[in-house]
Structure 1
């Protein structure tokens, strides 16, 4: 569930973005409004994760203002206590930074891999050797060549709209040599654009993929109804 602060901010943002997108569509047409639509959706997705990702005046905001971050931290404390080994993926490196500071505060050991990590081998070896129970990985960095069979749990903090990419990330834990079941969790903000894109993803896989990867015009077969659904108010 989104927190009250998230719901308020999401709704304000949604109204502004809905107007911006409609203005652009009436001026340029649907197919040519792709960049504005993607930018608007990105802002709403950030609001679902943590309001601090929006880069506003966020000095007052804390982890408890994000429903998803609070849920994640609760999960991680339990999983680590059970001795589980967790891969945690996010598309937003700034989100991983926020998660990192919460893990430090709770003294939960972790290692991290993002696009800016120079030495990829060390964090992988540390995790595989059991030195840390949690491995934070950004979407871009986690794409290829990682073999993380020490993991028995995968968490997607924010959904990836390309099911194949999401599965590929989960597969990091399913490499040859894996000898235990792996649990995969996806955290989705209820009633939000995240949930709406999940529904779209099932109905229109190509459109969903294009939406979140800034796909080519060829994939961009969005209808006015799809657009209205994505920018609809939060549902309960």
Structure 2
């Protein structure tokens, strides 16, 4: 099915569940990704979206997520937003912590203790 979809005469639409479409597939024939079954783990959605964002993709990829107000999907969207915010605070700092250290702290960090040097 994937080979047929990826082919030049392939069908214009390929419907996959989020989990089935999230692992081990290359779907560069797609340039629209629509998430209709939201998952509370943002990495699962990102992985599924990345099936279209692969080497060989020649078109801009549009990603849409359906969320109905007042439903479980809206609550899941809030959970995903909160998890992404937390991840950005924890992981998103990158190497910035190194540049925010004082000169004294940097010297302490890289200084060798007396017992570390052996002749």
Q: TM-score range by the shorter chain?
A: 0.5 to 0.7
> Which runs of 5 or more structure 2 residues have no equivalent in the other structure?
85-119
Q: Which of 21, 42, 53 is the matching residue for 1:163?
A: 42
Equivalent residue pairs, number: 83
Shift of 1:191: 1.6
Shift of 1:170: 0.5
Q: TM-score, normalised by structure 2?
A: 0.63
Q: Which of 65, 74, 82 is the matching residue for 1:195?
A: 74
C-alpha distance after superposition, 1:128-153 (max 9, x if no partner): 11420110112332232101101110
RMSD: 1.6
- In structure 2, how many angstroms separate the alpha carbons of the residues matched to 1:146 and 1:200? 27
C-alpha distance after superposition, 1:27-86 (max 9, x if no partner): xxxxxxxxxxxxxxxxxxxxxxxxxxxxxxxxxxxxxxxxxxxxxxxxxxxxxxxxxxxx
Match of 2:27, SS state, is coil
| 1:112-123 pair list within 5 angstroms | 123=1
1:131 paired to 2:6? no
Q: TM-score, normalised by structure 1?
A: 0.33
The structure number with the bigger radius of gyration is: 2
- In structure 1, how many angstroms separate the alpha carbons of the residues matched to 2:21 and 2:56? 19
- In structure 1, how many angstroms separate the alpha carbons of the residues matched to 2:78 and 2:20? 27
> Which runs of 5 or more structure 1 residues have no equivalent in the other structure?
1-122, 207-236
Bigger share in helix = 1
| Regions of 4+ moved over 6 Å | none
